[in-house]
Chains A and B, each alone.
Chain A
Amino acid sequence: GAVVSQHPSRVICKSGTSVKIECRSLDFQATTMFWYRQFPKKSLMLMATSNEGSKATYEQGVEKDKFLINHASLTLSTLTVTSAHPEDSSFYICSATSPLSGFYNEQFFGPGTRLTVL
């Protein structure tokens, strides 16, 4: 199957700083990438859908100015948590798909990034 990586896997930052998380599709071109957030013992919550070259579509209740998403190339999407606060501490997961690569309904998930804001 296709491989999706995330970097960093774990990050600790001070309150008020910004943190960038990268999501890369390693062996296919991802026209669409999804960003999820997962709280402890809870399921994944879709934050936004990003299509290469266009603005991300955010789910209701997700602040677009707080969680900046950029999908500048077919292999890279970034999520920047701006002015992070302790309540932003969470596990962030990306996934990627691409009808162009034949993945019409499949999603390939990254390993996740654990963000801790002190």
Chain B
Amino acid sequence: KNEVEQSPQNLTAQEGEFITINCSYSVGISALHWLQQHPGGGIVSLFMLSSGKKKHGRLIATINIQEKHSSLHITASHPRDSAVYICAVRPGNQFYFGTGTSLTVIP
């Protein structure tokens, strides 16, 4: 059983499309993270959320604590957004990671 489930696993979009990636978790958490991993492997932390909504540029992350669900939205998607997006939750000191959503944005 995975503590963190992401959907979809793979996503292909045309440039300019609005993209949504979903994350559901089954444990109580102090924070949820959205991470971006590019093909080279490096990981960038996009958001850390404990409630509500955060926005950074074209990226928006929301979390519903009661429903144990978070979404990552990308507006006006661009080929450079192509990467694996990983949801991670933190109950205490332990991190649980989703298996990631592989996004490909086609020009």
Contacts and interface: CB of A to CB of B under 8 A. Distances in A.
Contacts, number: 46
B66 interface: no
Interface residues of B, number: 22
Nearest to A49: B93
B44 interface: yes
Interface of B: 30-31, 33, 35, 40-45, 48, 50, 86, 88, 90, 93-95, 97-100
Contact of B97 (A44, A49, A105, A112): A44
Nearest to A10: B41
Contact of A109 (B35, B48, B98): B35
The interface residues of chain A, by DSSP majority, are classed as strand
A21 to B, nearest CB: 13
B42 A1 contact: no
Interface size class on chain A is: 20 to 34
A67 interface: no
